[in-house]
Amino acid sequence: MFFVIEVDTRRVHVLGITLYPSGPWVAQQARNLVMDLGERVGGFKFLIRDRDAKFTAAFDSVFADIGARVIKAPVRAPRANAFAERFVGTLRRECLDHLLIVNERHLRGVLTDWQAHYNEHRPHQGRQQRAPNDQPDRVVDLAAPVQRRRVLGGLINEYHRAA
């Protein structure tokens, strides 16, 4: 799984899944991310990545072209990329450790649902218990009944006020 996390909002983008990642595949996923972000891509000032050989010059040039500085994490320093490490741990503990993944298609569906839950509903302490895509100016009717939505077959429950 290849993903990018925006540190300021904690928004996660799952870019792709493959058994055999390669330099050209990783560079193409980066190009796809830049196209998907559109106008928001200007907000990327830097990219922290590890020193894997799959991150080729073509990958770095995708981000250099949008004006972002690519920073390589120091050798043997997992805390240098703590946000990504925390996301991977959270994904494993809250989702993947409770499911038996049968194939790549199943994994893709699970990660799509998890990404939507993570970005739309899951609270984050560093964001005052708000989700990455929360809109603080949105008005919520506190008198409306609470409804539950089951995600991933009931592994996760999301609660929201009925409209």
Confidence of residue 39 (pLDDT cuts 50, 70, 90): confident
Domains of the chain: 2-131 (3.30.420.10)
What is residue 130's predicted lDDT score, i.e. its pLDDT? 83
Q: What token pair was written down for 62?
A: 């995708």
Of residues 24 and 123, the one with the higher pLDDT is 24
What is residue 100's predicted lDDT score, i.e. its pLDDT? 94
What is the rounded distance in angstroms from the CA atom of residue 85 to the CA atom of residue 103?
Answer: 24
Q: At 16, is the secondary structure helix, strand, or coil?
A: strand
Confidence of residue 135 (pLDDT cuts 50, 70, 90): confident
Of residues 127 and 107, the one with the higher pLDDT is 107
Q: What token pair was written down for 64?
A: 């250099």
Please state whether beta strands 46-49 and 69-72 pair in parallel, antiparallel, or not at all (unpaired): parallel
Closest CA to 1 of 25, 17, 19: 17
Of residues 75 and 124, the one with the higher pLDDT is 75
pLDDT digit string, tens, across residues 61-118: 999 999 999 999 998 887 888 889 999 999 999 999 999 999 999 999 999 999 999 9
What is residue 133's predicted lDDT score, i.e. its pLDDT? 85
Alpha helices in the chain (DSSP H): 23-37, 57-65, 82-94, 104-120
Contact in structure between 84 and 91 (CB atoms under 8 Å): no
Confidence of residue 7 (pLDDT cuts 50, 70, 90): confident
